[in-house]
Amino acid sequence: MNSAHVRRLGNGFLGLAAVTWVLIAFGALVRAKKAGLACPDWPLCFGQVVPDVRLEGVIYEFGHRVLAGLVALAFTGGALAVSRTSAWPRVRPLVIVAATVLGCQIVFGGLTVLIVHKEQGVARPETWPVATHLVLGNTFAALGLLIALRLRHLAEGEPAPTGEPP
């Protein structure tokens, strides 16, 4: 096992977990600014890949989507990179669960836009997809952290966090 490469991958997943928590805070800002429906459709925004961000709230909602897309791409790249190492059998279950959670997270991100209710003539996102989106985001971030810790332990030749021998 190339321990330096595995350690770098562990550091990459650690960074991914940190950026994911920043993304969660950004999602809270979208909610606080009441910009969750600034892009009224999904996955596009006003039917465009890149909308006019000068419209009220669009910069928050679209910015959140862009950062989320970058997180998904970074995870995919990290998962592919780790799958080519000897550490793969030891992290494969965590990566598969994280990929599944990420897929669900993406779906619920879309549902927060698509499932709305009208309150005094004003459309608002339903609470249950928003809450599920938040829980899945935190779960994905935690899984990224677990993957990072497992990779770092494997790179150092220490027992994996589960107590398995190196």
Nearest to 37 by CA among 24, 56, 23: 56
Pair 113, 42: CB distance under 8 Å: yes
What percent of the chain is helix, strand and coil (3-state, nearest 5)? Answer: 65, 5, 25
- What pLDDT shows up at residue 28? 95
Cα–Cα separations (whole angstroms), residue 149 to 11, 34, 65: 9, 36, 27
Residues 1, 9: Cα–Cα separation, whole Å? 13
Nearest 5 degrees, angle CA 19-CA 13-CA 27?
A: 25
Within the chain, which residues score under 50 in pLDDT? Answer: 166
Residues 83, 66: Cα–Cα separation, whole Å? 26
**Amino acid present at 72:** A
pLDDT tens for 59-91 read 999 999 999 999 999 999 999 999 999 999 999
Pair 30, 64: CB distance under 8 Å: yes
Burial class, 24, CB count within 10 angstroms (exposed 0-12 / middle 13-18 / buried 19+): middle
Predicted TM-score (pTM) of this structure? 0.89
- What pLDDT shows up at residue 19? 98
